Amino acid sequence: MDIIEIREKFLKDEFETSFHAEKERYAEEISLSDIENVILNGEILEKYLDDPRGPSCLVLGFSSNRPIHIVCGYTATQWVRIITVYLPKLPKWVDERTRAKNGG
């Protein structure tokens, strides 16, 4: 997965958000504009090429001075699927770039 391609598909409205991502978005108070800021200005932090559901990646970005993680993959039609969104924090994350040793 490539951040430029993800951004291009996002700008062309070739993306969808999973039900899980919507639930997490509301729980974490992450707005649609936050998601847009992260996708358009963020970076790929991790790639999951061997995910059984298909290749995916973790995008890190900031919106309203908050670090936000977005996990993206592709649909069967090659749209971007936003799998989940969350604020990186303990117990899984020490900071926005560092996983906790125990993994939460």
pLDDT of residue 103: 61
pLDDT of residue 41: 97
- pTM for the structure as a whole: 0.93
For the chain, 104 residues long, the average pLDDT of each consecutive 10-residue run is 95 96 97 96 96 92 96 95 96 94 69
pLDDT of residue 1: 86
Q: Write the secondary structure of 24-65 as one string of H (helix), E (strand) and C (coil).
A: HHHHHCCCHHHHHHHHHHCEEEEEECCCCCCCEEEEEEEECC
Q: What does the pLDDT look like over 38-48, one tens digit per residue?
A: 999 999 999 99
pLDDT of residue 104: 57
Domain edges within the chain = 18-99
pLDDT of residue 101: 85
pLDDT of residue 54: 87
